[in-house]
Structure 1
Amino acid sequence: MEWFTAPEYWTGRLVFQRALAGLYLVAFLTTALQFRALIGERGMLPVPRFVERVPFRRSPSLFHRHYSDRFFAVCAWAGCAVSAALLAGLDSLLPLWGGMLLWLVPWALYLSVVNVGQTWYSFGWESLLLEVGFLAVLLGNDEVAPPVVVLFLLRWVLFRVEFGAGLIKMRGDECWRKLTCLDHHHETQPMPGPLSWFFHRLPKPLHRIEVAANHVTQLVVPFLLFAPQPVATVAASLMIVTQLWLVLSGNFAWLNWITIVLALPAVAFPSAPPAVSDAPLWYVVVVLAVSALLLGLSHRPVRNMLSRRQVMNRSFDPLHLVNTYGAFGSVSRIRYEVVVEGTAAEVPRKDSGWREYEFRGKPGDPRRWPRQFAPYHLRLDWLMWFAALSPAYAGPWFGALVERLLEGDRDTLRLLRRSPFPADAPPRHIRARLFRYRYTTWRELRETGACWERTYVREFLPPTRLTGTTHRS
């Protein structure tokens, strides 16, 4: 069945699978280290409450059948172990069916996590990892050459990621059409990286070139993925370079990295594939049947891309098999940050010795330079960015965060860079204030050593204390 496989993409599949296994490992590690405070039994949005009100058919998950923090931890660390095994190449040592089943394990485990993760797992790269991870099951292992139809589907996902993001920008904020969005984006993005300050200070004409190049990469280059080689390799390479540029400019979890991984199977690596036997009939039937299903499910993302009311990052089925993507359809012009503070004073006053909680990734102390965390995902820090945009984003969980800080909850404190209060002596009151942040100029940086300058805007949450249940004092 020579028509069914493409041996020349052997190396591309190998690199793709190992890189994807690495991203799975990061995703499961993020989950294992953060879940107790976020969605655990005493988390801000507990899984048990969620599964009580949402039926299995809407959010298929192992945790509908049973949930405990211990069971969840076992699943998360099992995901880490299987991902590490795939990264080491265990699937290539198994028979074809065994390799496929091994790839199915992290997909099923992570689907179970995402479907009960609520707002903490509502990011587009969660669905993207699941969609790509499901296709990896069909790619086979060393027993067969890569199936042509699955390679096509991987390019189809990459096309939707890039083209969808390009369309949402052109239809959204006018600054994308005027080529001025990067005058603001590096300063107002969710989580700046160590080089973001320097990107922001690039000359504005260079920002215009960056935006124009982004439009070309997202609106024109994706069509070249379906062209013959070497054109498809050039298109994929341009996307990889663009994504690496984005990696340098900010912290976007594994969004950029999984886009790079998606581009790898489209690259024609200059290596000779090993001799393999023909694909077994059962494998051909399974791949063609599932591929037909996925192509049929693609009509909704296509309709969304063509619609003037295009939406970003939407799943159209509970298994996250085919989704729609996009990012930054609008760009904030001003950066706001919620600063959380506590005091041990019995009566909270302005001069009560308020001390600030420091988060790992989001801006806080103006003198603290941003760090690189991606592809690791700091979920609380990202949601704090949304909270600063509008209190409505924080409604479901912010009160629980304050309550956990007032209790000195150790799992919650582990999500932070530093707490000004030890766990066994938590503050009596907590408040939150909204500040405007802006990058300092070159001169201010030299004089003060601070990369941020912040200005008080208003109260976000008045002083709050514990009296059985959290309430405003």
Structure 2
Amino acid sequence: MEWTAWLDAPEYEFARQVLQRGVATLYFVAFLSSLNQFPALLGERGLLPVPDFLAGSNRLRRPTLFSWRYSDRLLRAVCWGGMAIAASLVFGLPQLGPPWVPLLAFLALWLLYMSIVNVGQTFYGFGWEMLLLEAGFTVAFLGSDQTPPPRTILILLAWLVFRLEFGAGMIKIRGGREWRDLTALYYHHETQPMPGPLSRQAHLLPKAWHRMEVLGNHFAQLVVPFFLFAPQPLASVAAGIIVFTQLWLVASGNFAWLNWMAILLAFAAVSDPVAHAVIPAIPLDWHSEAWGAGAPAGVGSQAPVAWLVVLLFGTVLLLVLSYRPIENLLSHYQLMNAAFNRWQLVNAYGAFGTVTKQRIEIAVEGTLAAEPDDTAEWREYGFRGKPGDVRRVPRQWAPYHLRLDWLMWFLPLRTVHERWFYAFLAKLLEADRPTLRLLRMDPFDGERPRWVRVRSYLYRFSTRAEFRETGQRWIRIPLHESIPPLSLPPDD
């Protein structure tokens, strides 16, 4: 079938290898994160128990394996199964077989993780959850080592990068004034949800540098994405710019797998000749003998006919579903991180339309005293990722996702009076071991406190002079008591 010859993109084998193995790696991290945190947050005895959620009237709006039954044991089985499948893809084992083998492997990852996300409630309400789902579904159609990379799927992956980058750029232009007057980075490194070890150094850079950062961001998100669809080597250059800017975000913050996914997806636009020119160790021939890349031009695709039918089905499906995201990008009322169908495919993305100007941190304290008066000794709980100890260097966690710490950042922006947070305080009063394992430090070493309270602080990075004088990386100022002392009701 000569008309199918254009479907083959033999010059993008390196891109396929990076996309399949990289996306599978992020699925492994996502399942590992859920294995370690989901039972304490959402399990049978979690802060927002899934069985209670499933008993609600709106529980079946989105598909999940847990709609029939949830148990922590089943959740762990799903996580372990997902990690095993993801690991096999990282090592390239399914890719050695026919193209339907990696297809089924990625679709299994998509379905298993979607089952978790769709019962994850507020702890899974992040844009990178749907990004991982969409990426996994799309990458599933890249085939195996026995077939050439499919051009239509590579274009659709570039379209995903375009929506991710251009959507974020438009959200910023339509959002806070700080993005238009180039002052957003005066604040962002300090007030972002979870700073990394280099965030303070980035914040202390000159304001002229921060203005250049914003200009570079606008260029990378509003101009560069269009060149992903240009002829080579322009498309590869555009991908390289996106990779570079995303690596800066990786170095200066902790955004789970968002930035890593953008880096991986950008490789959909990198051709083998360009990759070989940059890194000569990358071969140019790859699997040419296996799938007949050296066949004469005009003889049609070298992939099996049945596989071509599957490819065309996946291509048409994703193209049809692209209507709503295109409409959203053109709208003055652009939605950010929105899914337009129950399968979370071809979504709208974007982040930080406005930048928080001050950092308010929620501190949780407990005491063993019988009465929470002025004589009580209050001890503060330590979190793994969110700022607390003013001398502690922020850790690098991405692409691993600390869900409790991220939700703690949202509390002062919304309200501390959220149901899950009061459930969290009750678990601390019970000295619940699964909950305490989510923390970096329990000041009571497993003993039950008599009282807990919540206080708010204003945090800012210390200047270089302040750090030399005090050794503190953060300066914090007490604001108020957000929740007065609470205790468990007395036993009958």
- TM-score for both structures, normalised by structure 2: 0.93
Does structure 1 residue 417 correspond to structure 2 residue 440?
yes
- Matched residues, percent identical? 54
Q: Are the equivalent residues in 1 in contact too, given 2:97–2:146 (CA < 8 A)?
A: no
Does structure 1 residue 272 correspond to structure 2 residue 290?
no
Please, which of 400, 405, 426 is the counterpart of residue 403 of structure 1?
426
CA distance in 1, matches of 2:101, 2:201: 48
1:25 to partner: Cα distance:
0.8
Q: Are the equivalent residues in 1 in contact too, given 2:95–2:101 (CA < 8 A)?
A: no
CA distance in 2, matches of 1:150, 1:56: 33
CA distance in 1, matches of 2:436, 2:402: 13
Q: Are the equivalent residues in 1 in contact too, given 2:256–2:398 (CA < 8 A)?
A: yes
Does structure 1 residue 444 correspond to structure 2 residue 457?
no
Please, which of 78, 90, 95 is the counterpart of residue 93 of structure 2?
90
Q: Where does structure 1 lack aligned partners over 5 or more consecutive residues?
A: none
Does structure 1 residue 466 correspond to structure 2 residue 466?
no
Please, which of 25, 32, 48 is the counterpart of residue 45 of structure 1?
48
Does structure 1 residue 349 correspond to structure 2 residue 361?
no
Q: Are the equivalent residues in 2 in contact too, given 1:173–1:329 (CA < 8 A)?
A: yes
Q: Which moved more, 1:369-378 or 1:85-94?
A: 85-94
Q: How does 1:202-351 map to 2 (within 5 A)?
A: 202-269=205-272, 270=276, 271-273=284-286, 274-275=288-289, 276-277=291-292, 278-351=302-375
- TM-score for both structures, normalised by structure 1: 0.97
1:56 to partner: Cα distance:
5.8
Q: Are the equivalent residues in 1 in contact too, given 2:33–2:400 (CA < 8 A)?
A: yes
Q: Are the equivalent residues in 2 in contact too, given 1:57–1:318 (CA < 8 A)?
A: no
Q: Are the equivalent residues in 2 in contact too, given 1:408–1:422 (CA < 8 A)?
A: no
CA distance in 2, matches of 1:395, 1:455: 24
1:350 to partner: Cα distance:
3.0
CA distance in 1, matches of 2:260, 2:490: 45
> Any idea what SS the aligned residue of 1:179 has?
coil
Q: Are the equivalent residues in 2 in contact too, given 1:439–1:453 (CA < 8 A)?
A: yes
Q: Are the equivalent residues in 2 in contact too, given 1:342–1:428 (CA < 8 A)?
A: yes
Aligned-residue RMSD, C-alpha: 1.3
Please, which of 174, 188, 196 is the counterpart of residue 193 of structure 1?
196
Counterpart of 2:19?
16
Q: How does 1:129-144 map to 2 (within 5 A)?
A: 129-144=132-147
1:55 to partner: Cα distance:
4.7
Q: How does 1:27-176 map to 2 (within 5 A)?
A: 27-55=30-58, 57-176=60-179
> Any idea what SS the aligned residue of 1:458 has?
strand
> Any idea what SS the aligned residue of 2:30 has?
helix
CA distance in 1, matches of 2:415, 2:123: 16
Q: CA-to-partner distance for each residue in 1:56-109, whole Å, 9 max, x for gaps?
A: 641200011121101111111111111111111111222222221122111111
CA distance in 2, matches of 1:8, 1:223: 21
> Any idea what SS the aligned residue of 1:264 has?
helix
Q: Which moved more, 1:14-23 or 1:214-223?
A: 14-23
Q: Which amino acid aligns with 2:466?
A: E
Give the number of aligned pairs: 467
Q: Where does structure 2 lack aligned partners over 5 or more consecutive residues?
A: 277-283, 293-301
Q: CA-to-partner distance for each residue in 1:376-400, whole Å, 9 max, x for gaps?
A: 00000000000122216x5131010
1:54 to partner: Cα distance:
5.0
CA distance in 2, matches of 1:43, 1:213: 43
> Any idea what SS the aligned residue of 2:255 has?
coil
